[in-house]
Structure 1
Amino acid sequence: MREGLVPAVLGTVVTASGAALLGSRYKLAASGILGFGLAHLVLGTIDLFEHR
Structure 2
Amino acid sequence: MREGLIPTILGSVVTATGATLSRNNMKKKNVLPMIEAGVIGFGLAHIVLGAIDLVEHRR
The TM-score normalised by the length of structure 1 is: 0.92
Identity %: 60
Aligned length: 52
User: In the alignment, what sits opposite 1:28?
Assistant: 34
User: In the alignment, what sits opposite 2:14?
Assistant: 14
Q: What are the ranges of 5 or more consecutive residues in structure 1 without an aligned counterpart?
A: none
Indicate the structure (1 or 2) with the bigger Cα radius of gyration: 2
Backbone CA RMSD of aligned residues: 0.8
Determine which of 18, 24, 45 is the counterpart of 1:39: 45
Structure that is richer in helix per residue: 1
Letter in 1 for 2:42: F
Structure-1 separation of matches of 2:36 and 2:20: 8
Q: What are the ranges of 5 or more consecutive residues in structure 2 without an aligned counterpart?
A: none
